[in-house]
Amino acid sequence: MALRDINLLPAAALERRLLLRHAVAWGLVYGLALAVIIGGHLGYAKWAMPERTHSITDKQARTQLAEIISEIDRKNEEIERLAFVRHVSFAFETSEILGCLADIMDPKTWLTKVSLRATAEGAYALNIKGLAYSNARRGTTIRALTTDPHFENVVFKDAVDVKPTITADDAPEHIVQFTVEAQVIAE
């Protein structure tokens, strides 16, 4: 026979005892869960994760930074040197191209504008504007450009008859203004 049945213990005392048992039981469950979580985290941090060696001194950090900066400076100097060499070689190639143009030009034809630009393929595109005494003289110059081994893809763009601005005894009544484009062959 239970003590409750005989009413030896009051109902309030029995409820407190039941509440105390539940509080202790759930406290142990939560405590055990917390211990497993903390233990798992500490165990993972100690055995599973690699050692971190990020602790360097300020002197070592400055030394590494100085090495990186000096490497960047060396690379910048090399880039500037190569850019200068490219500029100088472009100037020599330009003078060679102009010399070649001077050799093949008709004596009664002269150039008013010569533009030379580097293309993406490493070749040079040449754009020539000039004046000639006649269409025959212009044709002679274009034929000479076409047959010269330094130039390829010579394209005649346009020709316009203009009145000369210079007055001389042997000046013609009209001159031909022309435009030619070509590719310069790199040697």
Q: Contact, 185 vs 123, CB < 8 A?
A: yes
Instruction: Convert the pLDDT of each residue in 3-56 to its tens digit.
Output: 555 667 777 877 888 899 999 999 999 999 999 999 888 888 777 776 666 677
Domains of the chain, by residue range, sit at 84-184
> In one letter, which amino acid is 70?
S
Does residue 1 carry a pLDDT above 50? no
Instruction: Convert the pLDDT of each residue in 103-154 to its tens digit.
Output: 888 888 888 888 888 777 767 788 889 888 888 888 888 888 888 888 888 8
Please report the pLDDT score of residue 97 as a whole number.
80
Instruction: Convert the pLDDT of each residue in 44-80 to its tens digit.
Output: 877 777 666 667 788 888 899 999 999 999 998 888 8
Which CATH number does 84-184 carry?
Answer: 3.30.70.2830
Residues facing residue 184 across a β-bridge: 124, 151
